[in-house]
Each structure stands twice: as structure tokens, then as C-alpha cells.
Structure 1
């Protein structure tokens, strides 16, 4: 009887917790600005430049990084193109995810200078680091060669010079190189007031708009991915090639 009594008491407590939780969820109605305010806090505290992948700096939103690994697993690209290497943390992250996916692949990471590149990232055999401006014709030729060696889907991410003209040039360079179903991420389109750094000036967000005015049918925005975690550094920048 005592055992039955304890079960009954515990069951009642469990039902009470479930009921209270359901009521709390029902009563709490978000105002719609929570994600934007958190975004501002996240960006303005510079916690993003204290983020590392296995000890190597990786200047990205951790929510975006989680999103990226989900995209990589679903897309299973054979070629990842990264414009903007910094210390190499994100290139190594992409390589580690793809190594677990288990298909042949290559990460091409391009930056104007690799002086800050971490030796651990540089030593990974699945990453090709190229020191160059990302908009040089030679980079397009490099991508063409890699496409022949690693045919299949492409995941491209732009995270180098965050000026409008440069990002627009990167998008145009990739235009003949990406095929239907390939994925393009335009990072730091959150600056210039979208919603952070309102005084930045025309940047990646404006580059996306300018590109779409010229080539309106090239991409479909992956709004579901973009909105998944409530905020992203790639505002309006999750794009699937049509």
C-alpha cells in the first residue's frame, strides 16, 4: 500500500509539473524582438571572436555553425568554398563535419593573407588554403579544376571583405560555377543595421539586394534555415541556387 501511495504522489507531482509547464508556455507570448535583441547582445559583446573550434579561433555565431553542419549533412557537398580563412577554425570545422559524413570532398579556403593561419588547420589534408583575393580570375579557375576532381554539390560561404562591392564581385564570380541545388551563404549581412553596426555602410546585405536586382531568378532564400535559431549573422544570406 505504501508503494502504491508513493506512486500516486509521484504521478500527481508529474502531472502538476506538466500542467504548470503547459500553462507557462501558453501564457508566455514572445514579443517578436527577442531574437534581434539577443543578436545585438551577442554581436556587441564580441563573444563571437572568443569562439574556438578545437582551440582554433572561429569568428562565427555558434547557432550558425550548428546550422551549417546540418546543411552539410543534408547537402553532402563534395566541394566547400570558403572566402575568408582568418585562423582556419571554420575551415577545419567544415572538414571535420565532412570527414564524419564520409564522402570524398575538399575544402577550398581563400584569404588575402594567411599570416594568421593556425598550423593545425593548415596541416589538414582535406583543406586547400590559397592566399589570394577571392575575386581574382585565378580563383575561378581553381574552383573549376576542383569541380572536375570533386564532382557533386557545392557549399560556398562568403566571409572575407564585408564591403558591398567586394561581396557582389564574389557572388558574380561564383555565378557560373554554382549549379542548381548548390548552397550559398553570405555571412555578416547583419551589419549596416541588419540589425547590428548601423554605421557600417553598404555591405553584404546590400550586395545580395544588388545581385538580385540584376539576377532575380538565380537563388531561392532558405528562410526556414535562416530563422531556425532566432538570429543569424547571415541575414537574408541563406540561398539555394535555382
Structure 2
């Protein structure tokens, strides 16, 4: 039995649907409402990657996987290590590709979280740097780990205040190489009014003081990045809609 090779048609249809979904404001607002309904159950905290808590929405895990597979960076820098699952997730993808490593940056890498990471099978592809993500000392340590000519991807997922995220965009954006991505996490908060923002967190963020505002300001300052409309179009039930930006070709 023979069948037609429809791979190109399948991908074209998928792209069309992603773009259409990205234009559906009703679905997007329903998605935001649904995530707020899930938040009392700490939904994003319920998942793990290879035994380590990842604290991500499943849609963002899949989107990040697609980015890494398609661009195959040599170095991934993530600000905000938390419990380690995210750096280990990205390290495991680089292990599958058989190339590269992750630099995890955090102002406070707690001993038990460091233990989770350093004892994990993927720790060989993780370098941890402790310090304020935007301090010159920390940035110098990060730059020192990047080999000459490396393809670099960045994920910003630490302090979500507008000023801090904007400072991170300015500091780490130039490190991203053409064709690679910078992911500004938790842009969803920018679509939530203060009275509706999740309260069961150490800090409460809401529209105007969050990553989406910072990203918007950064994109107005520079012309080196573009929003990926296909990838972002399908990011409903995501913590980071609109947060996946691609460095333009040189």
C-alpha cells in the first residue's frame, strides 16, 4: 500500500493554524481565564522533568523544545534556576543533540537545589553561576563561559519586575546570536489586572510591572529581534505568550 508524502502540506497547514490561533482574541482571553482558574492548584508547579521540579506550563516546555531542536544552540543561558528542572530539561535536549551546555544564573542557588542539579545525570551539561544576573561581575563570568563563535540562546526567568526584566533584556539580548531565540518568561502576567493577579506567590506581579511591559520597551529600543508569529500564535495555555523572540540575521 502506498500513500502520498504529505509532510510539506502538513507543516503548511500547521503554520496556517498557528497564525489563525494567534489572531483569535476570544480563545486567548479564555485561555488566560482558564490559567487563572488553575492557579490556586499551583498548576505550573505540579510537573517535573527527569525527577526535578520544572515549574513550567507544558505548552512552554514543548515550545522551548521546538526552539532548541530547530536552532541547535551551543550555549543556553537561563536566568532563574529555581529548583533546577528547567536547566536540566534544556541540558537533556542538548544531550540528545550531542552538543552544548546550559549556563544557569541565579542570585541565590540554594544548597538543596544545587544538590538536585549536581547529582543529576545531566549535570555534565550544566554550569551554575551565582550572583545578581545583571551585575557586571556576573555578566563577565557568563561571557567567560561562552566559547568563541558559539550559537547562543537566552531564557530570562528570574525576578519578573518590569525594571529587572528590562535590564536583563539589555544585558543578555546582545549575547543572543543571529537565528537564535531569547525567551522572556511569564509575559502572561501582562494580560492580568492587579485584582486578578495570582496571590499565592512570594511576590505579586500585574500588568504594568511585569515581563511583557519590559519586552515591549526593549523591542522599541532595538531592532535586532523579531517576534516569531507562528510559535507565539499557538502559545495559549502558556506562561509566555509573545515572549519568544528571534535574533534577526546579521
Same fold at TM > 0.5: yes
Give the one of 49, 55, 59 matched to 1:53.
Answer: 49
Give the one of 105, 111, 125 matched to 1:110.
Answer: 105
Question: Is 1:134 the equivalent of 2:139?
Answer: no
Query: Retained in 2: the 8 A contact 1:88–1:122?
Result: no
Count, aligned residues:
211
Give the match for residue 216 of structure 2: 209
- How far does residue 171 in structure 1 lie from its aligned partner after superposition? 0.6
- TM, length-normalised to structure 2: 0.77
Give the match for residue 235 of structure 1: 241
Give the match for residue 174 of structure 2: 176
Separation (CA, whole Å) in 1 of partners of 2:38 and 2:47 = 12
Query: Retained in 2: the 8 A contact 1:157–1:187?
Result: yes
Query: Retained in 2: the 8 A contact 1:168–1:210?
Result: yes
Separation (CA, whole Å) in 2 of partners of 1:229 and 1:64 = 8
Give the match for residue 68 of structure 1: 64
For residue 191 of structure 1, give the secondary structure of its aligned residue in structure 2. Answer: helix
Q: Gaps (5+ residues) in structure 2? A: 1-24, 199-203
Q: Gaps (5+ residues) in structure 1? A: 1-29
Map 1:19-38 to 2 at 5 A: 32=27, 33-38=29-34
Give the match for residue 4 of structure 1: none
Query: Structure 1 residue runs of 4+, over 6 Å off?
Result: none
- How far does residue 31 in structure 1 lie from its aligned partner after superposition? 5.4
- How far does residue 137 in structure 1 lie from its aligned partner after superposition? 1.2
Separation (CA, whole Å) in 2 of partners of 1:36 and 1:92 = 28
Give the match for residue 225 of structure 1: 231
For residue 125 of structure 1, give the secondary structure of its aligned residue in structure 2. Answer: helix
Structure with the greater alpha carbon radius of gyration: 1
- How far does residue 181 in structure 1 lie from its aligned partner after superposition? 1.3
For residue 80 of structure 1, give the secondary structure of its aligned residue in structure 2. Answer: strand
Structure having greater relative contact order (Cα 8 Å, sep ≥ 6):
2
Give the match for residue 156 of structure 1: 154
For residue 102 of structure 2, give the secondary structure of its aligned residue in structure 1. Answer: strand
Separation (CA, whole Å) in 1 of partners of 2:184 and 2:235 = 17
- TM, length-normalised to structure 1: 0.79
- How far does residue 81 in structure 1 lie from its aligned partner after superposition? 0.3
Give the one of 169, 183, 186 matched to 1:185.
Answer: 183
Root mean square deviation of aligned Cα = 2.3
Query: Retained in 2: the 8 A contact 1:56–1:118?
Result: no
Give the match for residue 12 of structure 2: none
